[in-house]
């Protein structure tokens, strides 16, 4: 009987800890699209500005569609 109560208490403590994000840390990320530069997309500049604006976990990249002709862009 004591072992069952001990197990139930342990499960209760762990569930409270997980609910408060104690033992398990959750990283939430989102994908956003925004135009930072009109005609000049440089990968390192875009990534640095994206991190400055949205935090260190953000990453930016040049995304050029064929309908918008740009020079100096990586596809």
Q: pLDDT digit string (tens) for 12-65?
A: 877 776 555 555 555 555 556 666 666 666 666 777 777 787 777 777 766 666
Task: Kindly provide the b/e burial profile for residues 14-50, where b requires at least 16 CB atoms within 10 angstroms of the residue's own CB.
Answer: eeeeeeeeeeeeeeeeeeeeeeeeeeebeeeebeeeb
- Shortest CA distance to 58 belongs to which of 38, 33, 26? 33
Q: What local confidence, expressed as pLDDT, does residue 56 receive?
A: 75
The rounded Cα 11 to chain-centroid distance in angstroms is 30
pTM over 0.75: no
Tell me the C-alpha distance between 73 and 75, whole Å: 6
């Amino acid at each position: 009987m004591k072992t069952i109560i001990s197990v139930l208490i342990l499960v209760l403590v762990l569930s409270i800890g997980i609910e408060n994000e104690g033992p398990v840390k959750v990283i939430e990320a989102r994908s956003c699209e925004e135009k930072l530069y009109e005609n000049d997309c440089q990968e390192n500049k875009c990534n640095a500005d994206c991190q400055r604006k949205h935090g260190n976990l953000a990453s930016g990249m040049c995304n050029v569609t064929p309908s918008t002709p740009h020079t100096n862009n990586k596809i």
